[in-house]
Structure 1
Amino acid sequence: MLSEAKTRKKILSNATDLFAHNPYGKVTIRKIAQSANVSPSLIIYYFISKENLYCQIFEEFFPELENMIKKLKKEPKLTLSLIVNSYIEVWRINSLIPIIIHRELLSLDNTEAKNRLANKLLIPHKKKLMSLLSSITECSPYNEGYYYMLVISLSTYPFISDHISNEQNTDMSFLQNVYESVLPQAVC
């Protein structure tokens, strides 16, 4: 029998995979339990609800982003390229997270989980990233929103491009061009 920590981690891992490949509303406790090969009551025991389980995925992940920003703040020569590459490394370790965030933020559904994700994690993180970007000489209050979108777009593109184009048949080639041309030259 798995230890409690391993069981909990297994549930989170399987739930992350299901949420990355299915809209929030289509993922059920029963599907998560089936995927993790556990009882649905065990998921309720650990997480209370699907919403809590969903939010727990991000609550366990976001400290990695916070630690990355703390490290970047100590960099003597901070550049846009360094910030984007740091995000790419974090996403590489957690490659399903950008897919889930992208899926949820673009959905038209206004769920409690979406509001909780935005208010508790994404908005505070955006403020921290904007503060970090403001320490780059060329970034001013007038263009730091642009740099914020550039960092997020360039760092998540490699992880969401296949998922988006397969799921929505969307042409993402314009972002590929930006990724290939802007990032290597970006010395902010």
Structure 2
Amino acid sequence: MTSICVYCGSRSGHGDDYTDAARQLGKAMAARGFGLVYGGASIGMMGVIADEMLAAGAAVTGVIPESLQQKEVAHDGLTELLVTADMHERKRLMAERADAFIAMPGGLGTLEELFEILTWGQLRFHAKPIGLLNTRGYYDDLIRFLDGTVSEGFVHPRHRAMLTVSQAPEDLLDVLSLH
């Protein structure tokens, strides 16, 4: 089974658009037979997408550090919950178990995970597709910034091209070309 690692927040943000996008992505992934790998929490965007996938009968693997198990309220209804010693092990396991990556709107942790997986791709540690779900234009400024890193000569265009962007979950899954 193909699994997608979804990076997203332990908070839901302001407005229903973000949680609606998480539900839509979860439904679309489950309908296509994908499994979910994510941060393991039952709250925020993480909880929304996990619950949607579980309701559709899809496999959901959560990966959470022991130190965050209580703080982020680990989801107790998952197909599999892996508890790690630290964040480094969490991110390594998530990357190993995923066939692709999608970042949804989220906070600093989501941004850090996105940039780390992009860097790993640039360094050829993996060749897995990476997508950005740009709900409500949440990432517009970040996309402009990344385009600027190319025009200023700090990022090669092929590395910028590793990040596929879409505002619609279904379209993003189509563009990522997952089987």
User: How high is the TM-score relative to the length of structure 2?
Assistant: 0.32
Larger Rg: 1
The structure whose residues are more often helix, as a share, is: 1
The structure whose residues are more often strand, as a share, is: 2
User: How high is the TM-score relative to the length of structure 1?
Assistant: 0.30
